[in-house]
Amino acid sequence: MQPLELSAIDLVAAVANGDLTAVECTQAALDRIAALDPGTNAFLHVDQASALAAAEAVDAKRAAGKPLGPLAGLPVGVKDALCTRDMPTTCASKMLEGYQPPYDADTVARLRAADAVIIGKTNMDEFAMGASNENSAFGPVRNPWDATRATGGSSGGSAACVAASMSTVSIGSDTGGSIRQPAGLCGVTGLKPTYGRVSRRGLVAFASSLDQIGPMAHSAADCGLVLETIAGHDPLDSTSLDEMVPSYTQMLEEPLAGIRIGRVPAHFGEGLDPEVAAAVEEGFRVLEAAGATIHDIDLPHAKYGVATYYLIAPSEASSNLARYDGVHYGHRTSEPCRSDAFDSPLVEMYCRSRAEGFGPEVKRRIMLGTYALSAGYYDAYYKRALQVRRLIRQDYLDAFAKVDLIGGPVSATPAFPLGEKTDDPLAMYLLDLYTVTTNLAGVCGISFPCGFTGSGLPIGYQLQAPALAEPLLLRAADRFQRLTEWHRRRPPSA
């Protein structure tokens, strides 16, 4: 039995039954990382000794007849934006290079308590700012389907490690599509839960009103299994929802008969790749065959989503990243600070530290956000963006009064060549066209494979659901995957 060929649900069952050991599962993941990651760069840190020690502890519990956690023996890759007490947390930035937190993020603590085995920290766009995973200070992640192409971002490493079967599941974060977009470009399933469904404590903040942690796996059922563990109220996170966590996996059997799915005609206009459009339209037909009905709807303010997002998110980033000044947190310059060009040596030290520690995209967004928040411009930019955000949220509330789910593309194109958009920030920002409104509205969304291009690149399908409607979202995605085989395809190297 090859552990990494199993679903997460089957792997956990095999460990519980004694058909596999946690050590066997962990070693299989570590072996694949050693073989494949040099060409993929999905991991920034792998701690083989700690992973095997955790796996041995799981096997010892089973041998002693003690109850096992719901994720016992499951290899998990964790995005490097989540704090881990025993591994560095760098956010793929020189600003935090070598930093090791003194505590685990709530999600990491829940995974450990469930007997999952954390095998390493995955690469990402620096401070989660990017749509291609080319902004990492430690090199881009390469798409397992074609090493010359991007994985999407910012959770590119988390998507790539699952696509290449280096881990069974992974954890990402999604601020404007950073789970769903790389999942779509890498041919895996990625779930962005409702804002507050998963605690953000221990997630290094990008945009605090938008960030959300979620699972990535080959299937919706496996995402549901992981969400059962990481979701739930955290009294130490003021934005955490105090709502019961249902058994998502036990609710997958309910049929889709009578479920209404909205289709937004404006999503199929100019700029959408024809192969993507055809695959997504076929996705609607699959769901219709499963018993759902399809209805055209309108999200009139969605066209302002990218502009709204790129005012709100950078503004929050400007505030959140102000702490990285070389004194409170982060890299401190080693250059002497006595230049006459600065008001004082202290100001010079701040400026040099931030200039050396942050990469170009992070600097760009800090400047955008700082400008939008500055005196004389706050009302014109940030305040107005918040008002448009409220209109976007109302569009979703109105739409969900008519339909149960909204379907459509994840991104306008399949995976694009590395370097193609790095010199055109606007083109990169437009990659988030179909995903940012989910975060702005605070609802949940999922991406899963719905086809492949003629050249063999994955195409993603997105479903969005009302707040806390993850059971329906997962049920619809799971039903789609029972009727198709797209999610079972693996890259040639895997």
Q: How many CB atoms lie within 10 A of CB 2?
A: 9
Phi-psi region of 73 (alpha: psi -120 to 50; beta: other; left: phi over 0): left
Q: Does 245 lie in the same domain as 183?
A: yes
Residue 346 is predicted with a pLDDT of 83
pLDDT tens digits for range 212-266? 999 999 999 999 999 999 999 999 999 999 999 999 999 999 999 999 999 999 9
pLDDT tens digits for range 259-315? 999 999 999 988 999 999 999 999 999 999 999 999 999 999 999 999 999 999 999
Q: Does 323 lie in the same domain as 176?
A: no
What's at 167, amino acid-wise? S
Question: In the predicted model, is pLDDT for residue 317 greater than 80?
Answer: yes
Say which CATH number the domain at 115 has.
Answer: 3.90.1300.10
Q: Does 307 lie in the same domain as 183?
A: no
Instruction: List, edge to edge, every strand of the sheet that includes 405-409.
Output: 43-46, 117-122, 75-79, 169-174, 212-217, 189-192, 444-452, 458-465, 405-409, 260-263, 293-296
449-471 mean pLDDT: 98
69-92 mean pLDDT: 98
CA gyration radius, the chain = 22
> How far apart, in whole angstroms, are the C-alpha atoms of residue 445 and residue 184?
12
The total number of structural domains in the chain stands at 2
Does the residue 8 lie in any domain?
A: yes
Exposed e or buried b for every residue in 102-114, given b needs 16+ CB within 10 A? Answer: eebbbbbbbbbeb
Residue 426 is predicted with a pLDDT of 87
In what helix (H) or strand (E) does residue 306 lie, and over which residues does it extend?
A: helix 305-320
Q: Does 481 lie in the same domain as 375?
A: no
Residue 46 bridge partners (DSSP): 120
Confidence of residue 86 (pLDDT cuts 50, 70, 90): very high
The residue ranking higher by pLDDT, 493 or 418, is: 418
Residue 469 is predicted with a pLDDT of 98
Instruction: Write out the residue range of the structural domain in which residue 178 sits.
Output: 3-255+470-488
Does the residue 452 lie in any domain?
A: no
Residue 298 is predicted with a pLDDT of 97
> How far apart, in whole angstroms, are the C-alpha atoms of residue 311 and residue 367?
11
Does the residue 374 lie in any domain?
A: yes
Q: Does 333 lie in the same domain as 199?
A: no
Q: Does 150 lie in the same domain as 217?
A: yes
Does the residue 291 lie in any domain?
A: no
Is 178 part of the annotated catalytic residue set?
A: yes
pLDDT tens digits for range 356-395? 999 999 999 999 999 999 988 999 999 999 999 999 999 9
Point out the least confidently predicted range of 95-99, 108-112, 311-315, 331-335. Answer: 331-335
Does the residue 426 lie in any domain?
A: no
Residue 347 is predicted with a pLDDT of 85
- Out of 340, 357, 384, a domain closes at 384
Q: Does 313 lie in the same domain as 251?
A: no
Q: Does 70 lie in the same domain as 219?
A: yes
Out of 158, 170, 178, 447, pick the active-site residue: 178
Residue 28 is predicted with a pLDDT of 97
> How far apart, in whole angstroms, are the C-alpha atoms of residue 171 and residue 487?
18
Residue 192 bridge partners (DSSP): 445
Out of 93, 132, 136, 154, pick the active-site residue: 154
Helix 305-320, helix 384-399: angle, nearest 10: 130
Q: Does 338 lie in the same domain as 244?
A: no
Q: What percent of the chain has pLDDT over 70?
A: 99
Does the residue 124 lie in any domain?
A: yes
Does the residue 369 lie in any domain?
A: yes
What's at 82, amino acid-wise? L
Q: Does 167 lie in the same domain as 41?
A: yes
Residue 494 is predicted with a pLDDT of 63
Is 154 part of the annotated catalytic residue set?
A: yes
Element counts in the chain: helices (H) and strands (E): 15, 13
Q: Does 48 lie in the same domain as 173?
A: yes
User: In this structure, what DSSP letter does residue 327 have?
Assistant: S
Does the residue 97 lie in any domain?
A: yes
CB of 435 closer than 8 Å to CB of 462? yes
CB of 89 closer than 8 Å to CB of 105? no
- Out of 320, 351, 384, a domain closes at 384
Residues in the chain: 494
> How far apart, in whole angstroms, are the C-alpha atoms of residue 14 and residue 354?
49
- Out of 384, 411, 429, a domain closes at 384
Residue 336 is predicted with a pLDDT of 80
Is 167 part of the annotated catalytic residue set?
A: no
pLDDT tens digits for range 391-415? 999 999 999 999 999 999 999 999 9
Q: Does 208 lie in the same domain as 89?
A: yes
